Amino acid sequence: MKGRFRRNIELEADAVIIGSGAGGASVADVLTAAGLSVIMLEEGRHVPSSTASPVASEAFAAAWRSGGLTAAIGRPPIAYAEGCCVGGGTEINSAIAQRADSDLLDRWRKLYKIENFTPDELAQYYQRAETTVNASLTPSPLGRPTDILRLGGEALGWKVSELQRGQRGCKGVNRCSLVCPNGAKQSMAVTLLPKAVDRGMRLFARTRVHKICVEKGRATVVVAHSRDPAGQAVHMRVRARLVFVCAGAIHTPALLRRSSLRKRIGDTLRIHPTIRATALFDEPVDAHQSRLPLAAITEFMPEQRIGGSVFTPAVFGLSLAEDWTNRGELMQAWRFCGSYYGMIRPRGVGSVRPLPGINEPLVSFKLAPEDWIALGQVLTLVGRAMFAADARKVLPSISGHEGWTSPDEVDEFWNKPLPKGSTNLMTIHLFSTCPPGEHRDACAVDSYGRVRGLENLFVADGSLIPEAPGVNPQMTIMALAFRVAEAALSHSAQERARSAARERQ
């Protein structure tokens, strides 16, 4: 294999971080502030906001893994999206800042036996995450897409909440699924990563980690393939005292399993199955000129949530392509349309398995029977809200469905499953492939993200969220990563003290 590489590089640091998203950047902030020398390895490339393309296809190719064309195998397959660039998923998400429900956190603490995991104990880490991204409510006006959600929910007597975003100086362009063109979205490439680099962290983009070598209960070497500035292949080996895997809920378990670490790793993938609906109105919505809908119907949380999607003509066209024969004509009325969704906390579970010789792992997810019922219910609620906001027609993301033209029609799926063969589901939230805790029959890592049996290997990303939280996960990912990094520093200091004591004896 080495014959294919132009040169080999050997590096050393106190810590190596694999992945530059919400988890990796948060770990880097803690470690560099503590004075450690840090190397960060990121598979994707750096996409500066100044070069961000407004063309959806170009932006997807630059910042999304596989151009956004990934899916979990199942019936039906569920499309999912991951960032693959410096800053990871924080470059392409909606920057919504939410904490996990306190009752859920407490339930996970008891079920998985997670130490020091009460809402009060996690509050300091959530606060740090929110401060980092400048989480705040966006000043009004928020635009017609948001008004539609608020009007529909309030007309039905449902709780509607405004959402905080990580932002500064946002101009309101509906482009959050692309890289922010002016850096207003407080992604990791704008906030924590520059700070860490200023403190001396070395960040290597376009660097894919192949495996982690383990000897005598320690991660010893991280083996990666990179590209030099001239585009030539480079074989890289990094030695570090601490190793943090922050590659996301899909690629973290895939890497660990490639490194022969498999026990309860990648066996418990959770997602937020999401079904969309297009609402057609008599008056122009012009969603492409408005902010991302910054309100959500939260009456049914944490089990179900209703919100609004990013809308541009190109993204709208892609959604219509699911059933272009029957819905392509809607493209002519795109200014009168809005895109909304319902998501659920599922009972189903999936898995992640690496495949020899293939970069992308095999991802599967099976919805439980009750998930199908819940999806039908949340889709019904979306339809009710849209008609309560004076929609003329609502078209669920079900191929061949003619759509609803009155609120009397939307209850068709209230107590029966959606059609499996024609329902189009998606998600942008992935979690739980390395659940933490002291319940050894259920948990891949300990309460602080340390891989069992290894002294210096930690997980710090969405893999750690024990189950689907029912809210946007970035704040929880960052909170848990801050917590893991602090615990790793403490554990490392204790380990060094024990080693020094043994040498003195």
Active site residues: 429
Token couple for 30: 């803690």
Residue 211: helix, strand or coil by DSSP?
strand
* Radius of gyration, CA atoms only, the chain: 23
Question: By C-alpha distance, which of 151, 70, 72 is closest to 363?
Answer: 72
Question: By C-alpha distance, which of 461, 456, 441, 454 is closest to 487?
Answer: 456
Alpha helices per DSSP H over 297-451 = 313-320, 324-327, 369-388
What is the C-alpha separation between 417 and 348, in angstroms, rounded? Answer: 15
Dihedral angle of Cα 119, 122, 124, 129, to the nearest 10 degrees: -110
What is the C-alpha separation between 280 and 428, in angstroms, rounded? Answer: 24
Beta bridge partners, 225, equal 208, 235
Name the region of 277 (left: φ>0; alpha: ψ -120 to 50; beta: rest): beta
Question: By C-alpha distance, which of 152, 72, 467 is closest to 303?
Answer: 467
Strands (E), 172-325: 202-204, 208-215, 218-227, 233-245, 270-271, 274-280, 295-297, 304-308
What is the C-alpha separation between 271 and 371, in angstroms, rounded? Answer: 12
Question: By C-alpha distance, which of 188, 73, 75 is closest to 418?
Answer: 75
Contact 454, 242 (CB under 8 A): no
Q: Hunting for tokens 């004591």 — which residue is that?
A: 501
Exposed, middle or buried, 408 (CB in 10 Å: 0-12/13-18/19+)?
exposed
Which positions ≥6 away from 316 have C-beta within 8 Å? 278, 331, 334, 337, 339
**One-character DSSP codes across 102-120:** HHHHHHHHHHHT-TT-SHH
